[in-house]
Structure 1
Amino acid sequence: MELAVLREDMVDSLEHDAKAVVNTDDVGLAMRTVPREAFVDDDRKAYADQSLEHHGTRVLSPSTAARLMEVLAPDPGDDVLVVGVGVGYTTAVAAEIAGARHVHAVDITRPIVHDARENLADAGYPEVLVDCRDGARGLPDYAPYDRILVEAAAVDPPAPLLDQLAPDGRLVIPRGRGASQTLVAVDADGTETTHGPVAFAPLLVDGEQTGALERNRTAREDAERAARAAQAETGWEHEWIDWE
């Protein structure tokens, strides 16, 4: 069966089956257009509604990607930032809707960034900018953004990301820890809406990515210990004692 037919069948099922997670024409048309096989090694699995593993990162299932896009609700011409690019599929769907030149993505793990760039180029979206950054800090170089999508969980939306929202912007993020996560949309005016349970890996900080030599938190703690040790008394820095 041709991949284009499988793609049509996939979106049909997401629109009409019990899941019914595709509710808008923009998302449905984008998912019918983006060649998912460019992001999944096995063509037979590309259009199955299941999550996969690829080089240490999770490939979201089509239904999860659809849920994210429906909540994000980008419009053509919106400037979009995706934090946690992964293999790049969700980013490609956003690029199909908003326009590839309007979409930026970051990931903290350099090999994943390289893979995503190649995948996006193979899929027909080479104009998407993908950079290796600490996602919690966003990408201030191109802010503000009309839409920010975080594909990793955090207890609260990182303040730098909220600061990078346009005045009428929206940030979508899985909020919570472990099995207690909820998909949350936060508008620039502080309005929040919830959109059901989700399960995502936690948002990493610089130093926690695969292959990192050390965690920033450890480096910071070591520096703090060194500073305290330098200020500590070593036995002779006591006040002068007048023996007479």
Structure 2
Amino acid sequence: MSRDSDTAERKMQFLFALRSRGVTDGRVLAAMERIDRGEFVRGHFAARAYEDMPLPIACGQTISQPSVVGLMTQALRPGPRDKVLEVGTGSGYQAAILSQLARRVYTVDRHRRLVADAAELFRRLDLTNITVLTGDGSFGLPDQAPFDRILVTAAAEDPPGPLLAQLKIGGIMVLPVGQSNTVQSLIRVTRTETGFDYDELLPVRFVPLVEGLGRDTG
């Protein structure tokens, strides 16, 4: 089997794995077919880019398991006119998926190196509707609020108050909640006229949401 046909086979298996794990939204599957996870996994782990598993990236972070990315995106229900905030850029993979489904994506990470790498990759892939910023994502982006959708890719013990405040009425936030050393719950928060509705979706495991900036300076 040639290298190209081998890659095509692995991508087909990748999409099958997503469906078998509950990613059934056609728009989400199409976005995950367009955005090649192989672009976001480098070095020693590049050969495993199409496996349904989390993988290490720089700064002690991980690129999430693809099925979890798909399920989180599906739960978020991003629309083509939505403005989305992502907290925790990481590799940039989740933001790239969101860029295919929303009008504008703002993504923030505390690690300057990850932000620089993601920004360069977005430029190379011509993903022009993503703005990537270095900052403490637990405070959101007040200057750009309110947001139609907010996605948090790190676990907090409770949904951060500033993020709840930056969600539009009718808006949705999806995030993992729980202690960082245990299995957490992925929850969907919907802002209503009178408060917030909470839905528990599935067990997950994410790195903790940490306040402040990373120590890396590169």
TM-score normalized by structure 1? 0.80
SS for the counterpart of 1:200 is: coil
2: distance between equivalents of 1:38 and 1:126? Answer: 16
1: distance between equivalents of 2:10 and 2:143? Answer: 39
1: distance between equivalents of 2:99 and 2:129? Answer: 9
Q: How many residue pairs are counted as aligned between the two chains?
A: 206
1: distance between equivalents of 2:54 and 2:215? Answer: 20
2:96 alignment partner in structure 1: 92
SS for the counterpart of 2:155 is: coil
Residue among 46, 49, 53 paired with 1:46: 49
1: distance between equivalents of 2:128 and 2:76? Answer: 22
1: distance between equivalents of 2:126 and 2:50? Answer: 18
Amino acid at match of 1:53: P
8 Å contact from structure 1 (residues 87, 119) kept in 2: no
Taking only aligned residues, the RMSD between alpha carbons, in angstroms, comes to 1.6
Which one has more relative contact order, counting CA pairs under 8 Å at least 6 apart?
2
1: distance between equivalents of 2:106 and 2:9? Answer: 30
2:187 alignment partner in structure 1: 184
Structure 2, unmatched stretches of 5+, are: none
SS for the counterpart of 1:125 is: coil
8 Å contact from structure 1 (residues 38, 123) kept in 2: no
2: distance between equivalents of 1:27 and 1:147? Answer: 15
1: distance between equivalents of 2:122 and 2:182? Answer: 31
Structure 1, unmatched stretches of 5+, are: 213-244
2: distance between equivalents of 1:137 and 1:50? Answer: 29
1: distance between equivalents of 2:124 and 2:47? Answer: 18
SS for the counterpart of 2:78 is: coil
Amino acid at match of 1:133: G
1:23 alignment partner in structure 2: 24
SS for the counterpart of 1:11 is: helix
2: distance between equivalents of 1:142 and 1:8? Answer: 38
Amino acid at match of 2:147: Y
Q: Deviations over 1:15-62 (max 9, x none)?
A: 1x3x2x211111110001102121111542211111111112111111
SS for the counterpart of 2:120 is: helix
8 Å contact from structure 1 (residues 136, 160) kept in 2: yes
1: distance between equivalents of 2:129 and 2:9? Answer: 27
Q: 1:70 to 1:59 in 2, by over 3 A?
A: same
Amino acid at match of 1:67: L
8 Å contact from structure 1 (residues 36, 46) kept in 2: yes
Residue among 149, 152, 174 paired with 1:150: 152
Shift of 1:147: 0.5
8 Å contact from structure 1 (residues 35, 123) kept in 2: no
8 Å contact from structure 2 (residues 89, 108) kept in 1: yes
8 Å contact from structure 1 (residues 185, 192) kept in 2: yes
8 Å contact from structure 1 (residues 179, 199) kept in 2: yes
After superposing the two structures, state which structure 1 stretch, 82-91 or 179-188, moved more: 179-188
1: distance between equivalents of 2:41 and 2:92? Answer: 10
